[in-house]
């Protein structure tokens, strides 16, 4: 609710640092810089996390496949980061066991996988019961009876973490705000401002920005600008100077969502496709999602299109590994596509390009950070803010974000999260249809789940009282400005519970209208956008008809 206040503040004050981009990279940098005592503003031209950071596989993982590429340093860093991110937000980043089936003709056999998973555990510092376990063929079938048995040779189980990427961004954004950072969604950087410094020559001193809600243009004055614009990093770099040398290479990754009962996997399965790539099938609530693809992309970056080819690829791979389920186009309930902002490497295919991050500093001092992973956001932020201190000519203060709990995540461990779910069930008896409703609320809002539940008490629409309470809460506390901010990123329902959106959207739109003071025209426009989004998630079906 303090967006207007933030806007006014940003116009009237100058800052040490402006971050362009409110994905995981940008909010991570804002939090790190604010906790090290810098004054920070952050803008995003869309909603927070509307870029790649709500469109990932939603795993906080060490990246087993990077081991195949012999990227030991990367596996070591992100592998260790997993445990830290889990500790900082145990409600949002939960431990998850992955089943890795081994098949005839697969790239690596039983022993190589055994060694690989051991090295993975070692690099990532995994101990005790979480260490990898190798399974015989019979044990693998018992763990996942849906697997294709004729080519199965055994399996491995290893530990990773699951998350909700957009919620993680919102949690970190709120934490950064609590440390004094001023964050604004729907504000676009259109131009970079500069001035001549007698010692350093021409330096960037801010941006000319536009508030996309009101259309107003204004300037933000700062000492240092960080470009964390994900797939748009080169667009922002080109506001500074023509992009030379290394540039971005975008690859598209598609995920499909089906009802869990159509692909009732018992745990996450990470399986081989016949082209040598690996695919995830991940159960989440009443859904299972499957992905991903990895193909070069140069189309619209805001809403990357999902083609029939993408869908056929994932369905074929899934039906090949789980032959009894026989998934069809009509089973798909939802989908999403994200763009990996990778750094081009001549002669390498999309899947071979490193996922490492890299910092570029322009002659006029624009710091751009590209590449990387959700999992490694904290380390990326640390490296970037170290450069910011250098640029400001100040002695760097040490990074302390490994001890900054994400708002809502004030739990000692996952066991305490479970206890809190039980407590919520007891305190709000009758509000939850099942434990999974309470679990959803705690996994989404952490300790703030009680505030949401309290709002739902006494609501006349018992059918969707919690859903309505979420709308009111997120409009007040999480800078929801449009209906899709709520349906797509604050709750993930367009992807994982599309039926509830179809059923209750009018009631929810009314809650948001009241909270946000929308006119009738805006209400109608928001309603149209929700319809469009509901159509978009299965739009690829249309191309079948057109063909």
As given in the structure block, the two tokens for residue 212 are 């996309």
Coil, strand or helix at 202:
strand
Restricted to residues 284-303, the positions that interact with ligand FAD (CB under 6 A) are 292
d(CA 108, CA 225): 45
Burial class for 300, CB neighbours closer than 10 Å (0-12, 13-18, 19+): exposed
Point out which span in 125-133, 333-341, 398-406, 467-475 binds ligand FAD (CB under 6 A).
333-341
Do residues 177 and 19 touch, judged by C-beta distance below 8 A? Answer: no
CB of 545 to ligand FAD, least distance (A): 27
Binding mask 357-376 for ligand FAD (x = CB under 6 A): ---------------xxxx-
Does residue 61 touch ligand FAD according to CB under 6 A?
yes
Window 20-39: residues binding ligand FAD (CB under 6 A): 20-26
Backbone angles phi, psi at 436, to 5 degrees: -65, -25
- Should residue 92 be labelled a site residue for ligand FAD when binding is judged by CB under 6 A? no
Query: What length does the chain have?
Result: 547
Cβ closer to ligand FAD: 58 or 513?
58
Nearest approach, Cβ of residue 22 and ligand FAD (Å): 5
- Cα separation, 446 vs 452, in Å, equals 10
79 binds ligand FAD, rule: CB under 6 A: no
CB 280 within 8 A of CB 323: no
Q: CB under 6 A: which stretch of 84-92, 135-143, 230-238, 509-517 binds ligand FAD? A: 230-238
Nearer to ligand FAD, 159 or 508 (CB): 159
Q: Is 236 in the site for ligand FAD (CB under 6 A)?
A: yes
Q: How far is the CB of 304 from ligand FAD (least distance, A)?
A: 9
Q: Distance between CA atoms of 89 and 168, rounded to whole angstroms?
A: 8
CB of 96 or CB of 259, closer to ligand FAD: 96
SS3 82: helix
- Applying the rule CB under 6 A, the residues between 162 and 201 that interact with ligand FAD are 188-189
* Closer residue to ligand FAD in complex, CB, 21/154: 21
State which residue, 166 or 325, has the beta carbon closest to ligand FAD.
Answer: 166
Residues in the interface with ligand FAD (CB under 6 A) total 39
Nearer to ligand FAD, 26 or 156 (CB): 26
Backbone torsions φ then ψ of 37, nearest 5 degrees? 90, 10
Q: Exposure string (b/e) for 27-56, b if CB count within 10 Å is 16 or more?
A: bbbbbbbbbbebbbbbbbbbbbbbbbbbbb
Residue 454, classified by CB atoms within 10 Å of its CB into exposed (0-12), middle (13-18) or buried (19+), is middle
Q: Among 101, 155, 206, 230, which residue sits at the site for ligand FAD (rule: CB under 6 A)? A: 230
How far, in Å, CA of 285 to CA of 236, rounded?
38
Interacting stretch for ligand FAD, rule CB under 6 A, among 126-134, 144-152, 228-236, 449-457? Answer: 228-236
Stretch that binds ligand FAD, among 90-98, 223-231, 315-323, 467-475 (CB under 6 A): 223-231
Q: Is 338 in the site for ligand FAD (CB under 6 A)?
A: yes
Residue nearer to ligand FAD on the CB measure, 515 or 536: 536
Between β-strands 248-259 and 268-272, what pairing exists: parallel, antiparallel or unpaired?
A: unpaired
- Contact between 53 and ligand FAD by CB under 6 A: the answer reads yes
Q: Does 229 bind ligand FAD (CB under 6 A)?
A: yes
Window of 42-50, 99-107, 150-158, 322-330 that interacts with ligand FAD by CB under 6 A: 42-50
Per the CB < 8 A criterion, the answer to whether 474 and 486 are in contact is: yes
Of 20 and 399, nearer to ligand FAD (C-beta) is 20
Options 206, 253, 283, 446; binder of ligand FAD; rule CB under 6 A? 253
Closest CB to ligand FAD among residues 273, 527: 273
| Residue 372, SS3 per DSSP | coil
* 482 part of the interface to ligand FAD, by CB under 6 A: no
Q: In the complex, what is the shortest distance from the CB of residue 292 to ligand FAD, in angstroms, rounded to a whole number?
A: 5
* Type and span of the H or E element at 4: helix 3-12
Q: Does 43 bind ligand FAD (CB under 6 A)?
A: yes
CB of 31 to ligand FAD, least distance (A): 13
Cβ nearer to ligand FAD, comparing 153 with 386: 386
Torsion of CA 26, 27, 29, 30, to 10 degrees: 120
Nearer to ligand FAD by Cβ, of 374 and 466: the residue is 374
Query: 429-444: string of b/e by CB count within 10 Å (b at 16+)?
Result: eebbeeeebbbbbbbb
H-helix or E-strand containing 546?
helix 540-546
d(CA 467, CA 489): 14
Q: Show the tokens assigned to 532.
A: 């469009």
Task: Give the max Cα distance, the chain.
Answer: 73
Cα–Cα distances in angstroms (integers) from residue 416 to residues 76, 175, 403, 422, 427, in the given order: 28, 21, 18, 10, 16
Distances (CA, A) of 323 to 393, 439, 517: 61, 32, 51
Measure the CA dihedral 217/221/225/228, to 10°.
Answer: -40
SS3 for 296?
Answer: strand
Binder among 231, 283, 409, 446 for ligand FAD (CB under 6 A):
231
Binding segment toward ligand FAD, per CB under 6 A, in 41-49, 211-219, 392-400, 427-435: 41-49
In this chain, which stretch among 47-55, 64-72, 421-429, 441-449 interacts with ligand FAD, using CB under 6 A?
A: 47-55
Judged by beta carbon, residue 232 or residue 420, the one nearer ligand FAD is 232
Q: Which residues bind ligand FAD (CB under 6 A)?
A: 20-26, 43-46, 50-53, 55-59, 61, 188-189, 228-232, 236, 253, 292, 338-341, 372-375
């Amino acid at each position: 609710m303090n967006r207007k206040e933030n806007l006014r503040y940003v116009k009237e004050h100058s800052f040490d640092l402006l971050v362009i981009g409110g994905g995981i990279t940008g909010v991570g940098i804002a939090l790190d810089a604010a906790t090290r005592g810098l004054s920070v503003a952050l803008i995003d031209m869309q909603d927070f996390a509307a870029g790649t950071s709500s469109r990932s596989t939603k795993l906080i993982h060490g990246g087993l496949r990077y081991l195949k590429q012999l990227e030991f340093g990367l596996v070591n860093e992100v592998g260790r980061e997993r445990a830290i991110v889990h500790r900082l937000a145990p409600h949002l980043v939960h431990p998850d066991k992955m089943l890795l089936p081994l098949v005839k003709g697969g790239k690596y056999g039983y022993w190589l996988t055994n060694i690989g998973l051991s090295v993975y555990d070692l690099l990532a510092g995994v101990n005790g019961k979480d260490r990898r376990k190798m399974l015989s063929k019979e044990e693998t079938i018992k763990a996942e009876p849906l697997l294709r048995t004729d080519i199965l040779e055994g399996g491995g189980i290893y530990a990773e973490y699951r998350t909700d990427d957009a919620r993680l961004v919102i949690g970190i954004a709120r934490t950064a705000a609590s440390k004094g950072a001023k964050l604004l969604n729907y504000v676009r950087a259109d131009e970079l401002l500069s001035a001549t410094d007698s010692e350093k020559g021409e330096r960037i001193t801010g941006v000319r920005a536009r508030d996309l809600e009101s259309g107003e243009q204004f300037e933000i004055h700062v000492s240092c600008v960080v470009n964390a614009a994900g797939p748009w990093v080169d667009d922002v770099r080109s506001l500074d100077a023509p992009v030379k040398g290394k540039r971005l290479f975008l690859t598209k990754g598609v995920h499909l969502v089906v009802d869990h009962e159509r692909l009732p996997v018992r745990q996450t399965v990470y399986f081989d496709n016949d082209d040598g790539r690996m695919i995830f099938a991940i159960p989440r609530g009443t859904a299972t999602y499957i992905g991903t693809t990895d193909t070069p992309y140069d189309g619209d970056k805001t809403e990357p299109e999902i083609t029939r080819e993408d869908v056929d690829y994932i369905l074929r791979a899934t039906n090949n590994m789980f032959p009894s389920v026989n998934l069809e186009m009509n089973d798909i309930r939802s989908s999403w596509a994200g763009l990996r902002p990778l750094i081009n490497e001549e002669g390498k295919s999309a899947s071979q390009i490193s996922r490492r991050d890299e910092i570029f500093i322009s002659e006029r001092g624009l710091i751009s950070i590209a590449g990387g992973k959700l999992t490694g956001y904290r380390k990326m932020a640390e490296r970037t803010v170290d450069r910011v201190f250098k640029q400001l000519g100040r002695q760097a203060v040490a990074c302390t974000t490994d001890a900054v709990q994400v708002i809502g995540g004030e739990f000692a461990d996952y066991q305490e999260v479970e206890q809190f779910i039980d407590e919520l069930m007891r305190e709000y008896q009758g509000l939850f249809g099942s434990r999974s409703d309470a679990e959803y609320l705690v996994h989404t809002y952490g300790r703030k789940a009680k505030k949401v539940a309290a709002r739902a008490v006494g609501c006349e629409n018992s059918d969707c009282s919690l859903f309505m309470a979420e709308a009111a809460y997120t409009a007040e506390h999480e800078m929801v400005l449009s209906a899709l901010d709520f349906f797509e990123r604050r709750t993930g329902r367009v992807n994982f519970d599309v039926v509830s959106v179809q059923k209750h959207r009018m009631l929810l739109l009314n809650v948001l209208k009241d909270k946000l003071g929308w006119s009738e025209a805006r209400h109608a426009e928001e309603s149209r956008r929700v319809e469009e989004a509901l159509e978009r998630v299965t739009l690829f079906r249309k191309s079948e008809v057109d063909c």
